[in-house]
Amino acid sequence: MPENQNIEWKSRWKDEYLEWICGYANAQGGKIYIGCDDDGNIIGLSNARKLLEDSWLY
């Protein structure tokens, strides 16, 4: 599944993606896949547990 207006592949988390999420929420919706390369292949995250633990801050 290629990237398009409603699907984004991201290899790592950046706080600026919160703005993307708000944009999706205010438009047609969409999905951001964190831990995938530009072709949609899963590459994982080195700090996934920390991201989950910190996510309650948002």
pLDDT tens-digit map of 9-42: 988 888 888 888 888 888 888 888 889 998 889 9
Quick check: is 20 in a domain? yes
Looking at per-residue pLDDT, the higher value among 36 and 56 belongs to 36
Residue 58 has pLDDT above 70, yes or no: no
**Residue 16 · residue 1 · CB < 8 Å:** no
pLDDT for 55: 66
In a domain? residue 2: no
Within a domain: residue 39? yes
> Virtual CA dihedral for 50, 33, 46, 57, nearest 10 degrees?
-10
Residue 1 lies in a domain: no
pTM listed for this prediction: 0.70
Domain that holds residue 32: 7-57
Q: Which pLDDT belongs to residue 43?
A: 92
- Domain count of the chain? 1
